[in-house]
Chain A
């Protein structure tokens, strides 16, 4: 067991974990933050994307012990102030989610992109190459991120 101290969505946690525990499982099962989803556990689908120190990160390709001392943000943290963010609202308005399973990862990856400045459509589409959605056909997601970028 390895000692782990970190901040998740602004709250501090101290836990003892096995080194092999994946960050995705740590968030979902140790902390009960089930908003982060798992779709492939080999880095391709992006459903598990969270932020580690501000950078979008595959939580299925990260060991929990690696984020010791880090600040982790998950989809649950986006609405810490209560209301939906402009990005979430745009997803709602554009029909950018159906089953909603890919959505937390989509939001976290898009939030990282938006934090770097106003992306072009091409940059949005390129970023989305790492995020699989089986429901929407992507176009509504692209539009939602474009709208959030404009706001």
Chain B
């Protein structure tokens, strides 16, 4: 395909990924592949075998005698050398990167050994002896909420909820539990830390948000400029999880500082399963008030959020990420929520795909399904009657839904799923005694988080005492070298989403070259990259502000190229067109290479007012993301996609095995930058969502011991376990993002657990059920 002549854009095309070639050849560059400093020594971590215990003493003398061991760092030293991580709520226990006197979860670091290689480091860890005093553990969040483990308790009410409930014809109320799970990227955490003089250089497969760079710097007592954080070119998945690697950056930094050598640590799977940042477990009591015709009048949430042993930044953000979307996809005007955050003796939670969405929608969309039964209205129809129709739509809690056609998406989904026929087939199957169920979910998928929503954990008075927080800005840089090569540098820390390809497409459109002629650098270096506190790869923000920043930087550069070319072509700058690697006007052209040559080699030749050099940086921020207002309303995200999903399941009566016969998802994520990447994100999000629906959970026993400590017990779905997926798309551009695009990588992780649960509930004719719907659990429900 040739560029330009038809003014066809690269954006929107299924351009094959530029990332693939190197990865397919085994030439990816992941953190553990790199030797960024010579002679780094290997760390291994001693972790707590108890969920709650006092450390009476630690004796590392035997470890220090082992040949090849460089040294040991204990929690007591960590406490002396660093500060607790800053937290967004008061009352939370002080949290360091390593326990010193008290361990609060199974798997918590208590010391580390540094040695010649990982083998010897692990030998050394075994030689560190600890005198433990085990203490009683609290693992149940509801119990914890009655004690001083309750660290935040805030209530919000929008509209007139009480009146709405009083006037309701039908009220549905139930308790919904969402399990702790974790995205488990295939590559675990990795850090290399090099402390020299008074500053730290650290390499880590961190994924942002770069707010956590400040959190790490504060713990180390360093001004941000002295913490140079560099991410590798490739990262083996994250889905949010690798945000939490920052605590290990601090730990390895302290080891490097104490021992005077660079220190490297690659987390292994057992460590990851025990202690990496998992998703919050949530208990939600949700009551919903309906009129007899199905109108949803009010919602009242009462939420207990288990964030684990400490409130680790950015928690309790999981609880507030969806704050502007508490009303889901519906027009309901009255919404109340009580948010309680509790600490338990389980590992601290962090970002994971869906981030608050799976938990919230499990309660809301189960409730819609239950209500449909009570009201005698088809579940899809009940939703249709309540869907938001006019945009932009301001939700009761302050969210601003940008655009969409929710009803059309639902129609598409019902059609793709042959919903009416399926209902008939279901009736026939039931006649035969088969347990077939159909479940629906409608989900608004927020993207591009407002950094300010997290401050809702504080009262508005507390907020006014501080620097207001809002917005979500991202940066990008683009440069053309003296012989015309184009390099884009982004700060969105991709871990597989194809940002390199999409960024090249965006820049290619602005500069009139082909994407494969553009090099995109994805490694972020906080000393040299264009970044903001909001940078990173979370809340599906790339296609909004990430691509937006690339577009703006490339447009700046294109403007400059036109200005340079104009006199050479005897035209005005705005008459110059960039295409096919050349600047064109009056049927004449000059090559990009020549223009670059002029800018670099011959600055004297540049038109008046044009700066030499071809190097532009730009930042993009989505609009409408103000800090929370005095009434606690917040537009928690900039863009909102929509999904309508239908799941069809059959439950085997004998064994309780759930088979998903079909899963349909129809997405509207605004303008799609690259359909190939979109399909990948939807499929991947679905795999995680279906995983939670059917297999995945982190289980601790009553003493807080981990029962899902290996990949034999923590069940990631494999190829035979995932059902067929049918996808549909609509493209209603967002008026609020630079390219009209919205995020889409998390939607199916939000929708699939509840859509599948709804279908299983329908098949079994039961109301109370919990995911994952393991055969054993389903069979118990059948009894």
Interface residues of chain A, those whose CB is within 8 Å of chain B, are 18, 20-21, 25, 28-29, 33-42, 44-45, 47, 74-76, 78-79, 84, 88, 91-93, 95, 97-104, 107, 124-126, 128-142
Contact check: which of B28, B269, B680, B724 meets A35 at CB < 8 Å? B28
Complex contacts, B23 vs chain A, CB 8 Å? 97, 100, 103
A39 touches B269 (CB 8 A): yes
Are A42 and B712 in contact, CB atoms less than 8 angstroms apart? yes
Count residues of chain B with CB under 8 A from any CB of chain A: 55
| Closest-CB distance, B319 to chain A (whole angstroms) | 25
Contact B719 A134 (CB under 8 A): no
In whole angstroms, what is the CA distance A146 to B27 when docked? Answer: 25
Ranked nearest first, the 9 interchain pairs of A and B with the lowest CB-CB distance are A35-B26, A99-B496, A101-B236, A100-B23, A98-B496, A137-B683, A128-B719, A75-B26, A44-B711
The distance from the CB of A55 to the nearest CB of chain B, in whole angstroms, is 19
| Stretch in B182-190, B381-389, B509-517 touching the partner | B182-190
A141 and B676 within 8 A (CB): no
Distance to closest chain B CB from A112 (angstroms): 16
Q: Are A129 and B719 in contact (CB under 8 A)?
A: yes
- Kindly provide the distance from the CB of A61 to the nearest chain B CB, expressed in whole angstroms: 13
- Other CB < 8 Å A-B pairs besides A75-B24, A135-B680, 4 of them? A35-B25, A36-B26, A135-B186, A139-B724
Comparing B14-22, B449-457, B614-622, B771-779, the segment that makes contact with chain A is B14-22
Shortest distance from the beta carbon of B499 to any chain A beta carbon, whole Å: 11
Contact B25 A75 (CB under 8 A): yes
Q: Contact at B687–A134, with CB atoms within 8 Å?
A: yes
A92 and B479 alpha carbons, distance in the complex (Å): 28
Q: A39-B187, A101-B186, A130-B718 are in contact. Are A137 and B725 (CB under 8 A)?
A: yes
Contact A126 B684 (CB under 8 A): no
Interface centre among A33, A74, A133 (most CB of B within 10 A): A133
| Residues of chain B at the chain A interface (Cβ within 8 Å) | 16-17, 19-21, 23-28, 30, 32-33, 117-119, 183-188, 234-237, 239, 268-270, 495-498, 676-677, 679-680, 683-684, 686-688, 710-712, 716, 718-722, 724-725
Find out whether the CB atom of A92 lies under 8 angstroms from the CB atom of B24.
yes
Q: Is the CB of B26 within 8 A of A131?
A: no
Greatest chain B CB density within 10 A among A79, A101, A136 is at A101
Report which of A124, A135, A139 forms a contact with B496, defined as CB distance below 8 A. A135
Interface centre among B117, B235, B270, B711 (most CB of A within 10 A): B711
| B24, A91: Cβ atoms closer than 8 Å | yes
Quick one: which of A36, A75, A98, A102 contacts B680, CB cutoff 8 A?
Answer: A98
Chain A residues with Cβ below 8 Å from B676 are 95
Select B33's contact among A34, A97, A107, A132, beta carbons within 8 Å. Answer: A34
CA distance A128 to B687 in the complex (A): 15
Q: Are the C-beta atoms of B187 and A101 separated by less than 8 Å?
A: yes
14 of the cross-chain contacts (CB-CB < 8 Å) are: A21-B119, A33-B26, A37-B30, A37-B187, A37-B236, A78-B26, A92-B16, A99-B237, A100-B234, A134-B237, A137-B684, A138-B719, A140-B680, A140-B683
Closest residue to A94 on the B side, CB-wise? Answer: B676
A100 and B496 in contact (CB under 8 A), knowing A91-B24, A92-B21?
yes
Known pairs A45-B711, A93-B16, A132-B711; A76 contacts B186 (CB<8 A): no
Known: A18-B119, A36-B26, A136-B680. A99 touches B235 (CB 8 A): yes
Do B17 and A92 touch across chains, with their CB atoms under 8 A apart? yes
